[in-house]
Amino acid sequence: MIDPKMIDDLARRLSGSLPEGLRSLRTELEQNMRPVLQSALGKLDLVTREEFDVQSEVLARARLQLDQLEQTVAELRTRLENQSN
C-alpha cells in the first residue's frame, strides 16, 4: 500500500511547480491530483518496503552461500590438481 502522506506530498510538489497563471487553481488541482496519483500508483506492480527488505536479506544470504561454494570449489580444484601432479 502506498503511503497517503507520500501521495499528498507529491500532489503538493506537482501543484507547487505550476506556472504562476495556474496558481489560482492550485488547491483544486492538488485535490484532483491525489486520486489520480493514487490510482496510477496503485496500478504499478510495487512491493512494500518490508517485502523489499526481506528479499534483500534473502539475496544477501544467497550471495554469502554462493561465495562459500565458490571458495569450496576452488579448494577442491586445487586439491585435484595437486593429486594429479
Reported residue count of the chain is 85
* Contact criterion met (CB below 8 Å) for 2 and 46: yes
Q: Rg of the chain's alpha carbons, rounded to an integer?
A: 26
Instruction: Return the minimum-mean-pLDDT range out of 31-40, 54-63, 73-82.
Output: 31-40
- The pLDDT tens digits for 41-68 are 778 888 888 999 999 999 999 999 999 9
Q: Span 59-84, mean pLDDT?
A: 96
H helices within 4-84, ranges in order? Answer: 4-16, 26-43, 49-84
User: For residue 32, which of 18, 48, 45 has the smallest C-alpha distance?
Assistant: 18
pLDDT beyond 70 at 1: no
User: For residue 26, which of 40, 38, 16 has the smallest C-alpha distance?
Assistant: 16
pTM (global) more than 0.75: no
pLDDT beyond 90 at 15: no
* Contact criterion met (CB below 8 Å) for 56 and 30: no
